[in-house]
Amino acid sequence: MPDTVLEVTALQRTFGTVRAVDEVSFALAQGGSLGIVGESGSGKTTTARIIVGLDRPDAGKVLLHGRDRTERARGRAQRLARARQIQMVFQDPYLSLDPRTSVQAALRETLRLHFPDIDHARRIAELLDQVGLGSWAADALPRRLSGGQRQRVAIARALAVEPAVMVLDEAVAALDVSVQAQVLNLLADIREQTGIGYLFITHDLGVVRCVTDDVVVMRHGRIVESGATAEVLAAPRHPYTRLLLDSVPRPGWDPRQIAAARRAL
């Protein structure tokens, strides 16, 4: 059995009177891929932000290799070490990339911060090759790249710090279907090569089916179903999971029936 790299235990987060995350617990195996699925407002993104360290929980723990990440970091060195452990790739890379900064300058900035003593030019070339971009992309500005190419740059920047876990928050949702497939294949290759663990935050069960080993289904801040992806999607036990599966567009589907079923839950 693979070792556990990430363990989330009884996580809670409240905003006013809304319990956005309510007793959420799950584990990610070393080199594994876990999907967190749910509609907008289900709590999946808040959970991801807590795991990365962009938000703090009201209760519960996030353990990476058995060490608690919810305690406040002490000093710059510890903050940088935590940042290297878990990296996040967002839905729209254009918002997270400086439009005035070239690809190589963005990667060099990250490398200077975390690995000041290595050969940055060589590492940048390695990263661009790893994500399927050649040396031609080094001098490009984000606006000169396609959406898929910008997402590859965002992935390269996350990989630059050699994280144990990468959190992908709707990372292919804004891409065309053909480009989605290319990026998902790239991520699968990277996982096989590096042993990195993935946490996919998505509403798209097609993505979950393609790239995850296990899945957690969230609704109103709580986990309603979890298990091996193939088993959950083949024989969902919870009505909400079945609703999500029924919501996948297919010939002859009627969105009005889906809306009525959602209101009934």
| Cβ-contact 160, 123 below 8 angstroms | yes
Half-sphere exposure of residue 219: CA atoms within 13 angstroms, side-chain side: 13
> Using CA atoms, how far apart are residues 224 and 42, in angstroms rounded to an integer?
11
> Using CA atoms, how far apart are residues 211 and 196, in angstroms rounded to an integer?
13
Mean pLDDT computed over 165-171: 93
Give the whole-number percent of the chain exceeding pLDDT 90: 71
Amino acid at 258: I
Query: Where do the domains of the chain lie?
Result: 4-234, 238-265
Which pLDDT score, from 0 to 100, does residue 1 have? 53
> Using CA atoms, how far apart are residues 232 and 48, in angstroms rounded to an integer?
21
pTM of the predicted structure, to 2 decimals: 0.89
DSSP letter for each residue of 37-103: E--TTSSHHHHHHHHHTSS--SEEEEEETTEESSSPP-HHHHHHHHHHHEEEE-S-HHHHS-TTS-H
At 88-132, the pLDDT tens digits run 998 877 777 888 999 999 999 999 999 999 999 999 999 999 999
Pick the CATH number of 4-234 from 3.40.50.300, 3.50.50.60, 3.40.109.10, 3.30.1330.30: 3.40.50.300
- Is the predicted pLDDT of residue 254 greater than 70, yes or no? no
The pLDDT-based confidence of 185 (bands split at 50, 70, 90) is very high
